[in-house]
Amino acid sequence: MSEEPEAKTKVIILTSSYRIKGRIHLQQGARVTDFMIDSKNFVAVTNVEIWDLTGRQIMTSPFVNVSRDHIEIITPDGV
């Protein structure tokens, strides 16, 4: 039995301190809600831009783990 292919989905994650733009890897057909329900303590995000709440970009990285406990909002980035 083969595994479902993954799709890289652009998201925006808001924490109390940062706006994080990047991609999460979802199973084909899964929703961001499904991803969050199944995620453990950290969410893996790739192709990351991190901005402070004043709008200043403070970091880029090919990969970061974001603590699930600090995520206040996560939404697909359709822009």
- Choosing among 3.50.50.60, 2.30.30.100, 2.40.30.10, 3.40.50.720, the CATH entry for 6-76 is 2.30.30.100
Q: Which residue ranges of the chain lie beneath pLDDT 50?
A: 1
What's residue 1's pLDDT? Answer: 47
What's residue 5's pLDDT? Answer: 63
Q: Each residue of 13-30: b (16+ CB within 10 Å) or e? A: bebeeebbbbbbebeeeb
pLDDT tens by residue, 51-63: 999 999 999 999 9
What's residue 45's pLDDT? Answer: 97
- CA Rg, the chain, in Å? 13
